[in-house]
């Protein structure tokens, strides 16, 4: 890399994804230090982030603060106000990608495939969801990550507890028809779509335990989808990423139904960088180890600064 200022690796934060973010941050910080960069870690405190950034003396930020505050545009706005360049998507793209319902509305307007669903506000009357969506369907917080508060509904009796779990995470909840098939993800890195990964779990769905704790989750890479299907997924991921104005890096998640038709689930603007995380797996398959991945993300942000 050309001359790089001190880099603050931002991690932790106040969300339910704090523990995952702490691991992501430790890994990224170690990778930057191993490459001889002047880097310092900051465990983000929402009310003190301005002072933390000033005390760090950093001239650039590498953001791996997952979930609310770090991934929803708020931290990005703080960095903009401080005049500190940072990795990843800017305020609007971060806010949109964190908002699953509104990102899907935008994708639908772009002609991209999304599941059918309904948005519920806390305290509003709950419609007959089984009649609207059929069984099974999912109930999930609109603005939360790592599958926190997500439930698969297989009977009407499951609904009250699932709504309570989802509303504990957010004031808005999505009820969404289930796409029965395979779950897949495509990482986007510096304008390129990386090899797709198909995810298999013996659990009901790819929940928090399957993502971060279980040893029986399978990641198929190569995906086994075939070249044409992989290219279709990659092209769709790039379109979805661009539609939300994503930049530098991210991840787009899909369900593929029994007819091999893909449906967009969500975009992650600050994906995990842990030992179980998907972007490092995809990058490794494309020939970039973890250190090179971190370097690519940081270089993309640096180029933006150099180009004005």
Marked catalytic residue, from 71, 72, 99, 266: 266
Query: Which of 62, 42, 60, 61 shows the shortest CA–CA distance to 52?
Result: 42
Q: Is 212 a catalytic residue?
A: yes
**Catalytic residue from among 86, 176, 272, 277:** 272
Residue 102 designated active-site? no
Q: Choose the catalytic residue: 212, 248, 277, 295.
A: 212
Burial 269-307 (b: 16+ CB within 10 A, else e): bbbbbbebbbbbbbbbbeebebeebbbbbbbbbbeeeee
- The reply to whether 17 belongs to the active site is yes
First-last CA distance in the chain = 17
The total of other beta-carbon atoms located within 10 Å of residue 235's CB is 12
Is-contact 63 70, C-beta < 8 A?
yes
Q: How far is 72 from 91, CA to CA, in rounded Å? A: 8
DSSP structure class, residue 28: H
Q: Is 117 helix (H, G, I), strand (E, B) or coil?
A: strand
Q: Smallest Cα–Cα separation from 65: which of 12, 143, 144, 8?
A: 12
Residue 266 catalytic? yes
Backbone torsions φ then ψ of 193, nearest 5 degrees: -90, 125
Catalytic, 146? Answer: yes
Tokens 């200022």, located at residue:
5
Catalytic residue among 71, 247, 253, 269: 253
Catalytic residues: 17, 146, 212, 251, 253, 266, 268, 272
């Amino acid at each position: 890399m050309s001359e790089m200022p001190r880099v603050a690796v931002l991690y932790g934060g106040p969300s339910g994804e704090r523990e995952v973010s702490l691991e992501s941050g430790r890994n990224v910080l170690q990778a930057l230090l191993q490459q001889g960069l002047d880097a310092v870690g900051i465990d983000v405190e929402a009310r003190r982030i301005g002072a933390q950034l000033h005390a760090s003396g950093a001239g650039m930020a590498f953001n791996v603060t997952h979930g609310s505050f770090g991934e929803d545009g708020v931290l990005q706005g703080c960095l903009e106000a401080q005049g500190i360049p940072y990795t990843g998507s800017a305020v609007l793209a971060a806010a949109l990608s964190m908002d699953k319902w509104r990102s899907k509305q935008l994708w639908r307007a772009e002609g991209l495939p999304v599941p059918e669903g309904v948005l519920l506000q806390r305290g509003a009357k709950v419609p007959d969801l089984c009649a609207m969506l059929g069984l099974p369907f999912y109930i999930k917080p609109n603005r939360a990550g790592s599958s926190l508060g997500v439930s698969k509904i297989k009977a009407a009796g499951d609904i009250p507890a699932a709504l309570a779990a989802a509303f504990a995470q957010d004031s808005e909840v999505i009820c969404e028809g289930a796409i029965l098939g395979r779950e897949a993800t495509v990482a986007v890195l510096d304008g390129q779509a990386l090899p797709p990964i198909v995810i298999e779990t013996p659990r009901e769905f790819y929940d928090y335990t399957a993502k971060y704790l279980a040893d029986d989750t399978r990641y198929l890479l190569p995906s086994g989808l075939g070249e044409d299907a992989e290219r279709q997924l990659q092209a769709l991921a790039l379109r979805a990423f661009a539609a939300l104005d994503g930049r530098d890096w991210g991840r787009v998640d899909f369900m593929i139904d029994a007819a091999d038709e893909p449906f967009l689930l969500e975009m992650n603007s600050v994906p995990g960088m842990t030992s179980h995380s998907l972007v490092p797996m995809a990058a490794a398959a494309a020939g970039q180890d973890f250190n090179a991945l971190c370097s690519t993300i940081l270089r993309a942000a640096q180029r933006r600064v150099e180009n004005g």
